[in-house]
Amino acid sequence: VTAEKGGFDHFMLKEIHEQPKAYRDTMRGRIDESGQSVVFPGLNLTEEKIRSLNSVHIVACGTAYHAGLVGGTVIEQLVRIPVANDVASEYRYRSPLITPETLVIVVSQSGETADTLAALREAKRNGAHVLAITNVVGSSIARDADDVIATLAGPEIAVASTKAYTSQLIAFYLFGLYLAQVRGTKSNEEVAHVIAAMQSLPEQLESMLANVEPIKAYAEEIAVHQNLFFIGRGMDYAVVQEGSLKLKEISYIHSEAYAAGELKHGTLALIEEGIPVIALATQENVLEKTVSNIKEVKARGAAVMAITHEEHVADLLRSVDQALSIPKTLSLLTPALSVVPLQLLAYYTSLARGNDVDKPRNLAKSVTVE
Ligand code: G6P
């Protein structure tokens, strides 16, 4: 069994460490040799169809839904098409506005999630083109979709999804760039610039994974708490939702992920002396706003840990109790790095609490009933 885990104590830790490889594998063959553009050989979605699209719906469950939240922002920013994100169990019951000009993207690690499969079928019945982003090419969802972008994360065993999520992000970056190329919403130079930054991600991730001690120490601190909060804005908000889910799944600590600016509209009442707040503060355009939200919780006694880029650590340390840094990349790509400390935090907290990391109570890897 230890051999299966490649020398790691748990599948989850092994899979966290496999992420640099998953990034490389998911990018391979989808970037042309010059590194200037994205290619998707064999896509049924024609360029003409791409030009006619007027909306994108992204539908998924759990962690895949959270990847879709990042993906939606990526597509809106790169392509300027309106995107709606839905959890699959809600989507088909709210009579979504689906037309032949709607692209529906379903995201599923397993490709077997019943809610997502049902949403896919509903979308097809209404004439949408359905693209599946999945880790299992022979799955039901892959078979039923009009197109498939395979994430090449390799088999994921731990119930708590890690490398599948980050590979889904890579798939969204590539696909977003592809749409932008076809619709001409980004120049060749801009596309090449993002591609170059993407190609640095695996190495940046390797450097992060070589130094997990600070996260481990912080995990031991929070392991004794019953409640905590995650805050962030923009893409950071999408990422903390995944960080919070990860922590709930395997540590059984209650946590909430809040859009940092929304906290004051109610939930701030729950902030009391000593409660841990984890602030993800990587998005340059809203950094100052996030800092003022951090001050709001600090003033009510919260113990704040911030995750930010190296260059902002010194500044942030004036407002927070501790800070961790992540390597610098484009704001758009930051989720592919910033989620990793949150995955590790969930892992080490679960470990510190003596839980079964790979098989959390009440949860299944793949849920094939609605
Ligand atoms: C289950 C798993 C989650 C997963 C979700 C969607 O609930 O426990 O980790 O995110 O299903 O799974 P999928 O295979 O569709 O990505």
Tens digits of residue pLDDT in 29-40: 999 999 999 999
pLDDT band for position 177 (cuts 50, 70, 90): very high
- pLDDT at residue 3 greater than cutoff 90: no
Share of the chain above pLDDT 70, in %: 99
| CB atoms closer than 10 angstroms to residue 281 | 30
Q: Which atom of ligand 1 is nearest to the CA of 60?
A: 15
**What per-residue confidence (pLDDT) applies to 1?**
60
Alpha helices, DSSP H, located in the chain: 11-17, 19-27, 47-52, 62-79, 88-91, 114-125, 140-144, 163-183, 188-209, 213-222, 235-251, 287-299, 310-316, 335-352
From the CB of 141, is ligand 1 less than 6 Å away? no
| Backbone phi, psi, residue 170, to 5° | -60, -45
Per-residue pLDDT tens over the stretch 121-163: 999 999 999 999 999 999 999 999 999 999 999 999 999 999 9
From the CB of 88, is ligand 1 less than 6 Å away? no
CA-closest candidate to residue 72, choices 234, 222, 231, 181: 234
**Measured distance CA(323)–CA(309) in Å, rounded:** 10
**Measured distance CA(242)–CA(257) in Å, rounded:** 8
Mean of pLDDT values over 60-77? 98
How far is the centre of ligand 1, averaged over its atoms, from the C-alpha of 363 (Å)?
Answer: 9
**Measured distance CA(153)–CA(22) in Å, rounded:** 5
How far is the centre of ligand 1, averaged over its atoms, from the C-alpha of 336 (Å)?
Answer: 19
- Of the segments 93-97, 311-315, 338-342, which one has the largest average pLDDT value? 338-342
pLDDT band for position 109 (cuts 50, 70, 90): very high
Out of 365, 368, 369, 370, mutate this one to test ligand 1's pocket (max ligand atoms within 8 Å of CB): namely 365
- pLDDT at residue 284 greater than cutoff 80: yes
How far is the centre of ligand 1, averaged over its atoms, from the C-alpha of 83 (Å)?
Answer: 22
| Backbone phi, psi, residue 320, to 5° | -125, 170
Strand ranges across the sheet with 129-134:
83-87, 55-60, 102-108, 129-134, 147-150
- Taking CA atoms, 296 is separated from 229, 243, 276, 288, 325, in Å, by 13, 21, 13, 13, 22
Structure tokens at 224: 């004794």
| Backbone phi, psi, residue 117, to 5° | -65, -40
- pLDDT at residue 2 greater than cutoff 80: no
Cβ burial 245-256 (10 Å sphere, 16+ → b, else e): bbbbbbbebebb
- pLDDT at residue 104 greater than cutoff 80: yes
**What per-residue confidence (pLDDT) applies to 59?**
98
Cβ burial 58-89 (10 Å sphere, 16+ → b, else e): bbbbbbbbbbbbbbbbbbebbbebebebbbbb
| Backbone phi, psi, residue 304, to 5° | -100, 130
Mean pLDDT of the chain: 96
| Residues making up the chain, counted from first to last | 370
- pLDDT at residue 224 greater than cutoff 80: yes
The residue whose CA is least distant from atom 15 of ligand 1 is: 108
From the CB of 250, is ligand 1 less than 6 Å away? no
**What per-residue confidence (pLDDT) applies to 370?**
87
From the CB of 113, is ligand 1 less than 6 Å away? yes
> Is residue 114 classed exposed, middle or buried when 0-12, 13-18 and 19+ CB atoms within 10 A define those classes?
middle
> Is residue 201 classed exposed, middle or buried when 0-12, 13-18 and 19+ CB atoms within 10 A define those classes?
buried
